[in-house]
Structure 1
Amino acid sequence: MTDEQIKSDTKPVAVLYRMVMEKHICPYGLKSKYLLEHKGYEVEDHHLTTREETDAFKEKYGVETTPQTFIREKRIGGYDGVRAFFDKKKEGEKESAYRPIIVIFLMAFLMSVGVSWALPNGPFVISVVEKFIAIAMCLLAVQKLRDLTSFTNQFLGYDLLAQRYVPYAYVYPFAEALAGILMLAGVLVWVSAPIAFFIGTVGAISVYKAVYIDKRELKCACVGGDSEVPLGFVSLTENVLMVAMAIWMVGKTAVLAIL
């Protein structure tokens, strides 16, 4: 029986075998059950409650993993198999390499709007832009600090200063976080601005050389060492924004001091 014939069944029933143990409930089993029910299937839910029972099931059906789904006695497979059966992409399959950076920038923007709305401080649009850059710097620093070793390995591939002085690669995310926090608070501008200006300038020059002069195809370490974001325009923009923010903060502080 073909998949199309199975799907056309007026009263579709799916038989699901999944691990439900005292100390472990298989997440893919739950996802399979939900997807099947969401697609209108009645699920015969069989729990594999012990390791021995699970191993016996695998041996019986000649499979290496659970969960396993059967429809009209045809084995559909695990969670990926169920998704494929319903013509859905494999979960976790990268639809866009830029998704992580888009999510970070969108979250930073929404947070900046929320903070500016709740704590009005000067013109709204200017406040949003200032806080957006500061929050984005903090979020990007967190991504780098999740796995400092992985970040430094990728960062050393293109940053000119880090290639000459390796410890700079380890200092960079802390410096970015510090500058972002101080800029968000609006304090110690004479500390945050030079830091942002320096790391932003070095970063911009490094990215420009690697991408537009040397024509190298690299991954950007801006969202962490496991990033699939291509090194290029996004990376250059991040650094330019830091430089622009540094110059703006210094100029703003100087004007306010004069007034």
Structure 2
Amino acid sequence: MKADSDIHRRQENRGAHWTDYLPLMVIVVLAILAALAKQVDYGEWNGMRWMHDFMGFFLVEFSMFKFFDPVGFADGFQMYDLLAKPFRPYAYVYPFIELGLGLGYLSFWQPQVIYTVTLIVMLWGSLGVLRALMKGLDLNCACMGTVLKVPLSTVALTEDLGMAAMAGAMLIAA
């Protein structure tokens, strides 16, 4: 049985309309607003601190969706993640990694370790997404678990690379 069978080939126009990504946009906007609210608490604008808080809120929010249906998340994640595909236990551990990173950001625990691990996890994840996109696979992004159906697309790749870039910028600035 081919893993990339015709069933998984991209359906015409799937993911072509912005409304396909509305759930993702809502979550990103909520993380942005939560991080902006923290800026009020700090009493001044600090871009690095905002990025730090944004990453914390974003990662905690996204981990939450994976915990609702761990088996369903693992099934979806295994379809494209390069480590989860041959090693299913990684798909079950991944939500805990994401939650741990998010809580690490929010608590400012070992920032350089958190930035480094985020950079590695996000760059590695982007390779699997890129591979699936290059094959033209029609998959749901496992980023929202099985709760919300968002197509795996360049949006997911941009999300992974954007988070890696933010982690890299914070690592350099640290």
- TM-score > 0.5, shorter chain as reference: yes
Corresponding residue number in structure 2 for 1:225: 146
Is there any run of 5+ residues in structure 1 with no aligned partner, and where? 1-94, 254-259
The CA RMSD measured in Å over matched residues stands at: 1.8
* Aligned position for 2:42: 119
C-alpha distance after superposition, 1:96-153 (max 9, x if no partner)? 3312111111111110110111124x74333323322221111011111121111111
SS in 2 for 1:159: coil
Q: State yes or no: 1:101 paired with 2:24.
A: yes
- Given that residues 220 and 227 in structure 1 are in contact (C-alpha distance below 8 angstroms), is that contact kept between their aligned partners in structure 2? no
Structure 2 CA distance for partners of 1:241 and 1:177, relative to 1, 3 Å: farther
Q: How does 1:1-259 map to 2 (within 5 A)?
A: 96-120=19-43, 123-211=45-133, 213-253=134-174
Alignment-mate amino acid for residue 103 of structure 1: V
The 8 Å contact of residues 221 and 227 in structure 1, kept in 2 or not, is answered as no
Q: Deviations over 1:151-182 (max 9, x none)?
A: 11111111111112111111111111111211
Q: Relative to structure 1, is the Cα distance of residues 96 and 235 closer, same or farther in structure 2, using a 3 angstrom cutoff?
A: same
Letter in 1 for 2:69: D
Residues 175, 195 of structure 1: 8 Å contact kept: no
Give 2:140's aligned amino acid. K
Offset, 1:250: 1.9
Task: Name which of structure 1's ranges 234-243 and 163-172 shifts more when overlaid on structure 2.
Answer: 234-243
Structure with the bigger percentage of strand: 1
Q: TM-score, normalised by structure 2?
A: 0.82
Structure-2 separation of matches of 1:192 and 1:101: 23
Structure 2: gaps spanning 5 or more residues: 1-17
Asked if the contact 1:150/1:226 (under 8 Å) is kept, the reply is: no
The one-letter code of the counterpart of 2:48 is I
DSSP 3-state at the match of 2:84: helix
SS in 1 for 2:145: coil
Q: Flag the structure with larger Rg.
A: 1
Other structure's SS at 2:20 match: coil
Aligned equivalents of 1:128 and 1:190: distance in 2?
Answer: 16
Runs of 4+ in 1 over 4 A off after TM superposition: none
CA–CA distance in 1 between the matches of 2:115 and 2:86?
24
Determine the structure 1 residue equivalent to 2:13. none
